[in-house]
Each structure stands twice: as C-alpha cells, then as structure tokens.
C-alpha cells in the first residue's frame, strides 16, 4: 500500500490512507455517479469493492460499459473493467437483494441514483448497525449528496496537510510567555492561528515545556506567539520545536428518515441555503413524481414541471419559501444524464467514503446540493422545446434531453486542445468522449504531454494500466478514449508546449481552436499556454489541484479578464550557510541530503566522463569561506550546536545509509553490488572507524560574512597536478564513459532510502526531529499531493464550462470560476471578472482589443517601417516616436535624420525567421504625448 502506486495519495490522506486496504465498500447503482465513485475507490486501493445493480444498461450512460455492454447488467459489465484498474482490489458483483445480513460485512454502503424507498430501508439498517451510509444522485444539471456516519463517528485528523511546526528561537518567562519562532523559511515566520494547540520538544533550559500538555496559542505577529504562564519555568537557553496538535473530533449523524424532513445542509450563505433547500424539496418531489407516474418528467414539458413544483411545495412546506424558478428548471431537465455532473457527484461521494474509512478530513454534515442550472440561461438553451430534446436512439440521448439535438451536432464539430494527459487530462478526455466532443464531422481533439507513464500515476490517472508504465501518456490516453467512444477524433503528441514547439503549435494552430484546456502541473507551462491563448484570443479553461483542493478558471475572450501568470512558489532552496552550518528544520537536512546525493553519485561521474572526453585536463577553482563575528553567543537562536554521531550497527538508520550509499556507488562505478544484509553486517561489525576529531583552523561563516576566496597554487604545484591528471587519464584507457552518473528519481526506492537516511542522520546531528519516508519523499522530491477524487471533480467542473463555450455564450454571468475544498466538502463558484477597460487617445479599449494590420504591400513584400508609420498616422492620427519588436528598436524619432531614414527603409520582415504559416509580429510603440495616457493596445502585423 505504501509503494509507488499510492505515494501521492498517502501525502493527502496521511496514515489513514493505509486503512483503505482493510475496507469493504458496497456501491449500489452503476450509472454515471456509481461508475465514477466505484472507479475512484478501486483506484484508491480499497480492499474490496462490491457492485450491485438491478437494471440493464441503456446506451451512453457511463464510461465503463462501452458500446458492447448495452442491454447487459451494468454491474456485470463494469466489474471486469474496474478490476483492471487496480490488481490490489477485489472487485465483485452481488446479484441478489441487499439484506441486513449481507450489508453487515461492509464499512461503507454507497447508494447512487436509487429509489427513495430503497434509500430509507437501507439507511435504517446501516444506522442501526453503525455502517457508514452515503446517498448520491445526479439528475440533469443538479446533484445531491447525503451522509450518515452514525451517532459517534470519530474524525482522527480533520485538516489537510502535515501538522504545523516551527523552530523556537526564544521563550520569555512571564504570564503569558511569549514564544519567538520561525518556519523553515525564516522570512515567512510561523503559520499558526489563534486557538491552535501546540506542544514543545527539544527545548534547552526551559525544559518544563517539553513535558507540558498541549496548550492553545494566541498570535501576536508572524514570528511571535503567546502561550500559558512560563514565569515559574527555568530560563530558556536555546533550541526547540513547536508543533501543532490536532485533537480528534466526534460527530453525530441523524438517519436518513429523520434527516429528510429536517435537513442539515452544508452551505456558505443564506442565499445558498435557500437554493439548497429548494433543491432538497425538488429532489424529494421528483421521487414522489416518479412513484406516481412511473417515469421522470418529460424534457422541457411545462405541465410535468408544474406538477413537480406542486409536490415540492407539499413535501417541503417545513423548509420555508422555495425558489419556484429553480424547481421548474430542475424538473424540466431532470430526465437528462450529463457525464460532468455524474462525474462530479461520484467524485464527491467517493471522497466521503474515504473519509468514513480513513477518519481523515471533516465529513459532510449531512446534505450537499450542487447545480449548474445557469447553463439553461445560455442563449439558445433557454428556448428549447420538447421536440428538440426528445430521444433519438443515440448514446447521447441523456445529453440531448438537456441541450437538444442541434447542440449535440455542434459538440461533434468542436476543435479542442488538451495540454497535459496526467490525472486531470485523463478525466477531461474521458468526459469529452462521453459528451461526444469532437465525435462528429470536422471535430478534433489534440492532446500533448511530454511525459511517460510512471507507476505512481496509476492511482489517479484513470486511462492508464500497469502494462502502460513507460509508455507515452498522450498516446495511451488517446487510445483509451477511442475505446470509450470510437467516434472521437484524437491526435496525440509527445511534446512539451513551449517556444521550441511553435512550428507544431503555432498561431495558426491556436486560431483554429474552439477552446483549450490546461491540465498542466507547472506555472511556467501554464503561463506560456495563457500567452498563446491571449495572443490568438482563444478561450481557455485553466485547471489545477493540490491534494483535496482544486480550481477551474475560465478565460473567455472578449468577455472575461485575461488570466495572469501565477508566481512560482518557493522552490525549496535555502541559503548555503543554513544548509551547511545552521540547519534547524527537517527541510534543511533533506535539501542537504539532495545536494549530497548529487555530489556523491552524479557530479563526480559526470566530471570523470567529461575529463576523459576533453583534450587536456581542466582544473576546478577551489574556494574557502571566512566568518564574521556576530557579537552574540554563537550557538543561540536558530543556530543549533551540532554533535557527532557514533556509528551503531544496530541502528536501522545507520545501516540503511551505508547500504544505500554502497549500492549507489557500485552503480556509478559499474560494479556488482551485494544484496546480502547478513554479509554487510559482518563486514561492518569488523570495521574500526577512527574517532571524530574537529579540524583546527576551520571557520564557520555566517550569512552576513560569506565570501569566496581562491586557494593559491604555486606554479610547480600546478604543473605537477596537470601531469598527474594526464597520467590518470592514460591509465583509464582514454574512454569517454567510464562511470554512470545517477540522477535523483523521487520514486526510486534506493534513492529515497539514501535521502531519508542521510537527512535523518544530519537531523540527529543538530537535534532536529526526523522525518518518515513518505514525508522525506514529498519534501525532497517537491511532490504535489494528489488524489483521484479531486482531479475527477475539477475536470467535471471544467467540462460544464465547455458546454457554455460550445453554445458560444456571450453573457459572462453564465460562466463560473470554481474553487473546491473536498476536505470540507466546500465549493465556491463565482462569475469571472469582466475584461478591464482603459483609455488611450480619447477612446476606451478592452484588454482584448488590439490594432491589426495586414502588413503586406502591393508588391507582396512586407511593409517597410515608413509605410507602417504612415498607416498609423492615416488610420488613427497617431505620430509614433518609437517602434519596437521585443527589445529591438525598429524606429527612434530621437535619432539623427540619416539614422531615421535607414530605420524607416527596413522591412518589418527583416531579421524575422521565415516559416510555412503566416507570421504575426506583436510590436510595441510610443506616440507623441503618451506621457499622460494609459497603456496602448498591442499592434499585430501579419507578414507574408
């Protein structure tokens, strides 16, 4: 369970993630919601997932069955494909009734899209037996989620991420005592909040803190905290760590039968509460309508919608006022099935099931409602009639019931660019295949990803299997979605989007797109994609996740503001002085271990190989450092005085370090390594190590006094060294590859063993608490935690925005940016900000406006600078004083007459590389009198 497959997930779920391997989950209902929830639980590694479905499978309702499964039992069709997702999980089908005896074998029972009578019966059984019970449903553009985890459910760890910690720099004696502290990055301080419970460890002097009970803190500023009374404690001398303690929480739940009439609904505001209560009554009324009529309301049938509204008022009378327009809109499309809505609700249901199993994160209390009914306000969707939404015998009938047949044809004609085929990319492509995006004449999806599939991808990247490890992500993903929908057109590339691939993904490529979706994991790549879409005015949906958090941002030219590139987070680097001499946090020792890995197993081998390939030996500059006196006790504050370690063969960390280093060194020298631990122990037992003796004359530099000094070599010494290097080169045979450099791989077990052991040994040197293997992997590898539920939910939210783009909606009020927090089952959906405007030369300009000129003269050649300046004067009355292409000055009105004449005579194409497609230059300019103006609109020149 703790292997590479689940490493990213364990970073999200912590130790609770290992409880999944003991869990048995029943998933009832295998339509869209159930299929997504079951797939997520299988990928996450639950020990046993049992499927139950009483009905046959109509076409196109979920991604597991494929074309060949139509008419067969959904659970039986889905079992084989679910089992293939994860060989660690037992996936089976229960064809019989869900009896009380049968249900007793499960920790979690999840019912999806089931009749209310079945929900109530099974809910009563589960509540009585202490089985966690979840109900999830999706109807048209709305979803419902309910949780009952019993009367005494314990949340072991309610918060995402590792507990907070900081380095203690001083503690005052007083009432209250004041703690001065700092995080690993000393400039950022601590991250505690008022009321957080903390404990201390490793404090010298004021040792009473080390044994004290958890106490609450009050934040004074970024570096100071108030704690309890320390006036009677011993004076503080140095060192120490302050760490957050997260107390367990107990939650109590009502059974469904009670919670239906008096619902506790999780919302953020009174406005949301009104809408959620309305949806609660609408779902309840829908069950009643179906029981009375034996069917769901007909799509866009006003009389059916009115009957649902009447039932909602009758059943929900205790809920207060209802939004009648919401009930009518909900009922009018409730017969529809949309893959994005089903995927979103299935992902949320699976996350709640994981909370029930692991005790990690705050579970839902008790109802959650979601809707994207704003899609019906889009021009074109609002006026649909029943005949537009009637079934066609198509796999897309569930989508046609919501958006109509003409819209389905438009979906098939779309051209989209998916950048990234990882976790979000896989979910996007799966949803696109189910939606029928690019499955018609003229449609096409281009997907690119430079990476290959790793084992650590398999727990969340839905389209990949064990046999795909090492293969290109984009190609495997494209092949997988063609199996889901043979009509989809997908073109795959194993290429990194960037300046080096402009010939493949140039301006012509972007201008032909209907939209692009970012599923990237680096801010640099995202910023480049954003710039391409801004330049071509192509709609972009930017997606991202980190652990249980996710977001979707919509950039809709010319309606919304342009996306601004995010700032790069801290790259994990620390000052050299801190790493070498003053480590005070595990982050410092892990970065030091990474540097050690590179210095032992990569750089020497590369240097030897480079030395052998050079014509003559090269010398490396040697440097020493000198200190400056701080004028205070040297080992104080965050400076910890190190102490030497004595090698102990019985210490697992000592042995792990020696074994890992030996194996890695053997690899660099192309030698066989010994895997016999008994033999290794025998050698080490008979090895006598000299005692540690500090060297005389060594200086410990401080941050303020680090200088680089060259070590002088006498001419004779230099000549002798050169001759010795030449002899070594001759003895090594003159080859160019004598050693194998090892580059650090964050998922390689041997590499991780060395990093963890080296870091913890250095941490022991400086009295820093050690880190476990998983934490070391995350920090040293700078790994972003990831989980299937978040990626599936985020991709689903992005696909809802695709619907609006396909409608070519020009009302910004219909679009949504989303921020998702699955750890608390919270979703924030807000309208994107409108495109800002500014004034230039007496006219109001949008951020999307630009001046465009076909810079081709009558002779077919590019315009000269003089001709372009004349066009700006004639067309806009602007006198340009400076014209630039990037950093190149094309024209400067302050130059002398001869220079200006030469500048004006040059063509705009001079110095621009020729290519097959029409070239566009973006030029910057300054006009006379611009000092009082805002920024000017860009000038785009199309060259021949």
Catalytic residues: 577
Cα-Cα-Cα-Cα torsion 66, 431, 478, 60, nearest 10 degrees, comes to: 20
- Residue 379 · residue 810 · CB < 8 Å: yes
Which DSSP category does 599 fall into? I
Give the whole-angstrom CA distance, residue 92 versus residue 110: 15
> Phi first, then psi: what are they for 297, rounded to 5°?
-60, 145
- Residue 182's SS3 state is strand
- Residue 170 · residue 637 · CB < 8 Å: yes
Closest CA to 424 of 62, 65, 787: 787
- Residue 515 · residue 538 · CB < 8 Å: yes
- Residue 548's SS3 state is coil
Q: How far is CA 751 from the centre of its chain?
A: 25
Residues composing the chain: 944
Give the whole-angstrom CA distance, residue 940 versus residue 943: 10
Which helix (H) or strand (E) is 344 found in, with range? Answer: helix 339-358
Closest CA to 440 of 500, 398, 371, 394: 394
For residue 493, the tally of other CB atoms under 10 A from its CB is 19
| Cis before 176? omega within 30 | yes
For residue 320, the tally of other CB atoms under 10 A from its CB is 11
For residue 43, the tally of other CB atoms under 10 A from its CB is 25
552: tokens are: 């979707």
Give the whole-angstrom CA distance, residue 517 versus residue 24: 36
For residue 715, the tally of other CB atoms under 10 A from its CB is 7
- Residue 847 · residue 934 · CB < 8 Å: no
Inter-helix orientation angle 270-293/302-315, to 10°? 110
Burial of residue 743 (CB within 10 Å: 0-12, 13-18, 19+) is: exposed
Q: Where are the alpha helices (DSSP H) in 4-115?
A: 7-13, 32-44, 74-85, 100-103
Do β-strands 540-546 and 515-518 pair in parallel, antiparallel, or remain unpaired? parallel
Give the whole-angstrom CA distance, residue 61 versus residue 81: 15
The region that residue 690 occupies, defined by phi over 0 for left and psi between -120 and 50 for alpha, beta otherwise, is: beta
């Amino acid at each position: 369970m703790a292997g590479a497959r689940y490493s990213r997930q364990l970073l999200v779920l912590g130790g609770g993630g290992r409880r999944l391997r003991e869990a048995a989950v029943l998933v009832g209902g295998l339509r869209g919601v159930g299929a997504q929830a079951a797939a997520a639980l299988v990928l996450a590694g639950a020990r046993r997932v049992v499927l139950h479905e009483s009905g046959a499978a109509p076409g196109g309702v979920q991604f597991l069955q494929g074309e060949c499964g139509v008419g067969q039992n959904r659970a039986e069709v889905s079992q084989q494909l679910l089992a293939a997702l994860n060989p660690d999980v037992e996936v089976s089908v229960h064809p019989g009734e869900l009896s009380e005896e049968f249900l007793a074998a499960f920790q979690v029972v999840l019912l999806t899209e089931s009749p209310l009578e079945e929900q109530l019966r099974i809910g009563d059984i589960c509540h009585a037996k202490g089985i966690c019970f979840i109900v999830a449903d999706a109807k048209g553009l709305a979803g419902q989620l309910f949780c009952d985890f019993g009367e005494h459910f314990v949340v072991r760890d309610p918060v995402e991420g590792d507990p907070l910690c900081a380095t203690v720099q001083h503690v005052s004696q007083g009432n209250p005592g004041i703690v001065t502290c700092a995080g690993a990055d000393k400039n950022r301080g601590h991250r505690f909040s008022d009321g957080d419970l903390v404990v201390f460890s490793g404090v010298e002097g004021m040792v009473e803190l080390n044994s004290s009970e958890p106490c609450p803190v009050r934040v004074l500023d970024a570096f100071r905290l108030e704690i309890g009374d320390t006036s009677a404690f011993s004076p503080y001398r140095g060192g120490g760590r302050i760490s957050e303690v997260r107390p367990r929480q107990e939650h109590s739940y009502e059974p469904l039968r009670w919670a239906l009439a008096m619902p506790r609904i999780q919302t953020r505001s009174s406005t949301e509460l009104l809408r959620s209560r309305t949806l609660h009554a609408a779902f309840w009324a829908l069950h009643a309508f179906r029981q009375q009529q034996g069917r769901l309301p007909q799509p866009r049938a006003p009389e059916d919608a009115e009957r649902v509204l009447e039932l909602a008022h009758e059943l929900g009378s205790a809920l207060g006022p209802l939004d009648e327009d919401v009930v009518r809109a909900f009922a009018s499309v409730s017969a529809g099935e949309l893959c994005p809505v089903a995927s979103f609700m299935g992902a949320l249901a699976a996350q709640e099931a994981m909370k029930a199993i692991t005790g990690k994160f705050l579970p839902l209390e008790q109802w959650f409602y979601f809707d994207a009914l704003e899609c019906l306000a889009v021009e074109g969707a609002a006026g649909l009639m029943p005949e537009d939404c009637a079934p066609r015998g198509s796999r897309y009938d569930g989508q046609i019931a919501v958006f109509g047949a003409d819209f389905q044809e438009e979906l098939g004609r779309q051209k989209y660019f998916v950048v990234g085929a990882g976790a979000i990319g896989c979910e996007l492509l799966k949803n696109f295949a189910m939606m029928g995006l690019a499955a018609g004449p003229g449609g096409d999806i281009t997907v690119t990803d430079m990476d290959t599939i790793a084992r650590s991808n398999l727990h969340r990247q839905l389209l990949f299997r064990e046999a795909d490890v090492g293969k290109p992500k984009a190609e495997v993903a494209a092949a997988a979605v063609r199996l889901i929908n043979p009509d989809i057109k997908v073109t795959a590339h194993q290429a990194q989007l960037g300046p080096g691939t402009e010939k493949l993904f140039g301006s012509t490529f972007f201008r032909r797109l209907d939209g692009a979706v970012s599923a990237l994991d680096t801010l640099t790549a995202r910023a480049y994609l954003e710039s391409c879409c801004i330049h071509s005015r192509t709609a972009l949906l930017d997606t991202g996740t980190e652990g249980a958090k996710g977001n979707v941002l919509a950039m809709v030219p010319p309606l919304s503001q342009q996306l601004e590139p995010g700032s790069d987070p801290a790259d994990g680097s620390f000052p050299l002085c801190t790493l070498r001499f003053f480590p005070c946090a595990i982050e410092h020792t892990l970065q030091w271990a990474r540097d050690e890995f590179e210095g032992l197993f990569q750089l020497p081998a590369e240097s030897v190989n480079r030395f052998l390939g050079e014509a003559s030996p090269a010398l490396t500059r040697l440097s020493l450092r000198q200190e400056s006196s701080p004028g205070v006790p040297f080992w104080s504050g965050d400076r910890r005085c190190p102490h030497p370690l004595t090698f102990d063969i019985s210490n697992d960390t000592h042995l792990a370090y020696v074994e890992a280093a030996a194996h890695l060194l053997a690899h660099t020298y192309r030698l066989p390594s010994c895997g016999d631990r008994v033999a290794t122990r025998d050698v080490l037992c008979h090895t006598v190590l000299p005692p540690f003796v500090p060297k005389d004359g060594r200086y410990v530099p401080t941050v303020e006094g680090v200088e680089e000094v060259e070590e002088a070599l006498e001419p004779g010494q230099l000549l002798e060294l050169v001759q010795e290097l030449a002899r070594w080169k001759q003895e090594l045979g003159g080859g160019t590859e004598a050693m194998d450099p090892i580059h650090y791989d964050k998922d390689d077990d041997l590499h991780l063993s060395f990093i963890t052991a080296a870091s913890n040994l250095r941490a022991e040197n400086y009295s820093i608490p050690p880190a476990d293997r998983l934490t070391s992997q995350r920090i040293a590898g700078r790994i972003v935690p990831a989980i299937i539920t978040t990626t599936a939910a985020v991709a689903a939210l992005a696909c809802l925005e695709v619907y609006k783009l396909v409608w070519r909606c020009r009302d910004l009020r219909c679009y949504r940016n989303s921020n998702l927090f699955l750890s608390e089952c919270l979703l924030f959906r807000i309208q994107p900000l409108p495109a800002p405007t500014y004034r230039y030369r007496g006219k109001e300009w949008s951020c999307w406006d630009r001046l465009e000129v076909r810079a081709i003269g009558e002779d077919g050649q590019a315009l000269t600078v003089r001709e372009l300046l004349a066009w700006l004067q004639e067309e806009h009355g602007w006198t340009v004083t400076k014209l630039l292409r990037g950093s190149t000055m094309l024209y400067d009105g302050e130059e002398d007459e001869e220079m200006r004449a030469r500048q004006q005579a040059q063509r705009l194409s001079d110095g621009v590389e020729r290519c097959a497609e029409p070239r566009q230059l973006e030029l910057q300019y300054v006009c006379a009198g611009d000092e009082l103006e805002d920024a000017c609109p860009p000038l785009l020149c199309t060259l021949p």
